[in-house]
Chain A
């Protein structure tokens, strides 16, 4: 079971039709698509976060005419490990394939659940992301991060933080990361895991836990419904459209975190093919079709292409790895 805020979905069904592959990188005429076709490999079942990302991206790319046709293949198993192994083992025949992935690939590679890691793939681009957020119930005494930190300092066992991921999963890591930045020993943070975000929210509202660690987009929805208050988000600066939510940084906690989603190619993907993929993904941001898909899904554009993507992933791996070692998960 993968548990990350945007992806708490269990596998559901849809018939993915494997279409023919084939790349054309030379056609740059105005009306011609930049890339003839892309086959999206989705490491989980239909209906999950990965599935939505691949299908939404494919929809924007084809409808805007940047890509001729898009096909999708759901390959669940091993929490994404099966698809990862598949694209690496069958690299030669998968030059027309892009696999969607996200932050858990880093975590799961670190813990060794995946024998491979992102370096075994060709990095295409990170396309969207979500920040993390800590929220409290609307009637909570905790007004901001300083309150939370001092409550922890007073009695660390009296404050419990919950989330929808396993211990050592993303919600836990974010909470630990933030508390560590506030000078609290992350091991002192009592993290209460729930099966899913919805259950964790129920725990917050019934008073079982005091603080909920969740994704920003989910937190915004809950805050708008008046059920919770956001006490800190892991963005660099306040996010347009919901600038009530203070960042961790402005409250003196030097922490940022992005739960990214992006696309990978098989290892050994030819340079020009890679460049064409990166080109269409970069152009996609300017299309109306993408804007419509993005808004519908509440995604945040966080574009990291090629070398930037590599640096970003390495930093995140380092940061998460250090924290997991501190917490004793590695």
Chain B
């Protein structure tokens, strides 16, 4: 472990990788601030850039930087203009925006930055402790256990449904699994569902699909939005005093401490993610607060601001645990990161830590750097960065479409990808209009081949499906999967009862 740590430190502190962190955080902060553009869209747009870099550690560091940058940026727009850029900072606006209206925008931003920094850093420390332990257990995994693991990953979709519409999430997962079967499978010597089209022989490209599901609909949505050309409410003039009092610091310290740990643990659970963590964090802290403090919640409580900020950042880091150790995505965002890893020829899973320690550790170490970078970005520079909120959103449309098209094309130099992209993008937009969650589709698409191949391999090795009962670990994992399908609906219900807001997936 120490050796890996050493490799990670030296890799993360290389000039390239520091540039990746800084660049990723900057881009993430900027775009995360823009209402409507969530981390998934931002990461989808950034994937071709990351892949062009070629080196998996640098690419993942860049994308991870974008991810937590987006969470940070989202809180800025939540506080300043009450328009959360992303779902996981909705809870931030509950108390952040009232604070800003009271003329305490600077204070609110400081609290948010400190809470986020602590949440992210504590998350990174916990990740460093948790991940190796999980990974070493997984070394004894056979195909049967991998199959069960994929089922476990898919069970996360129950949590994605969030508001209780499990049926839609399941349908989207199945659609994702179906799309994944197009092309030549890794285990079978024949193309499937290509309809004789040569360009479909290698299947639908992950980048194309990710762009079509998240980035393109974003642009099309903006086109349909009548308020798109409205100039944003900059609000930068209001940011004056960034200082917080000793009393306030004393108030938020235990809140941040608790929520950093709770947020991380929620983030580790597949499907939960930063959004649920932030709502739960807010709800828990309100319940724990003294009576007179409780009444301040929703009216500009510093605790109510610190709680979701610490929780969502810690959860963002926590969601890297299943990604880096087991190769299963706990959220839509990590699903995109997983796809990017596969595109970079890295086999995610328990062996990642052993085979590619430099990737594993460099990403973790870069999280510390990223948190420091974000603290610097968010404290002294925030009044200037916030000016981006004044940019009319219709300028975003060509920007998104350009990067989407280019991203799908450059990897393959194949114009057919553009047709596939556009077709799928239109379908995705319609699905979104009909309120179908798209993250489960992507998760199904990514996990589908692994699910199928490991299942087929186990069938071959055990001459049937006997492996499910013959291997206790497989049975155990499948049992947990069943549990996970029911647990989140219970959890979501509780969260819904406690907080007014309703969680969307992140």
Contact = CB atoms under 8 A, between A and B. Distances in A.
A166 B141 contact: no
Interface of B: 48, 51-52, 54, 139-143, 183-189, 191, 198-199, 201-203, 205, 207, 342-345, 347, 349-351, 355, 410-414, 416, 449-450, 453, 457, 460-461
B186 A160 contact: no
A206 B414 contact: no
B189 A167 contact: yes
Contact of B450 (A77, A169, A195): A195
Contacts of B202: 1, 11, 76-79
A45 B198 CA distance: 15
Contacts of B412: 11, 45, 74, 76-77
B342 A10 contact: yes
A196 interface: yes
Pick the most buried of A13, A206, A207: most chain B CB atoms within 10 A of its CB.
A13
A5 interface: no
Given A12-B51, A202-B349, A1 B413 contact: no
A229 B139 CA distance: 19
A52 to B, nearest CB: 11
Contacts of B186: 1, 3, 166, 193-196
B413 A75 contact: yes
Contacts, number: 130
B199 A78 contact: yes
Contacts of A160: 461
What are the nearest 3 A-B pairs in CB distance? Answer: A13-B411, A78-B198, A198-B347
Contact of A78 (B142, B201, B411): B201
Contacts of B342: 10
A168 interface: yes
Nearest to B453: A195
Nearest to A15: B410
A168 B351 contact: no
A202 B343 CA distance: 19
Interface string A7-28: 0111111111000000000000
B343 A77 contact: no
25 contacts: A1-B183, A1-B185, A12-B51, A13-B207, A14-B52, A14-B410, A14-B411, A15-B52, A16-B413, A45-B412, A76-B414, A77-B412, A77-B414, A78-B198, A113-B191, A113-B201, A166-B184, A166-B189, A192-B457, A192-B460, A194-B186, A194-B457, A196-B347, A207-B142, A208-B461
**Interface of A: prevailing SS:** loop
B189 A168 contact: yes
Contacts of B203: 1
Contact of B205 (A11, A15, A169, A203): A11
B201 A192 contact: no
Nearest to A48: B345
Contacts of B410: 13-15
Contacts of B343: 10-12
B308 to A, nearest CB: 36
A82 B199 contact: yes
A12 B189 contact: no
B142 A208 contact: yes
B189 A111 contact: yes
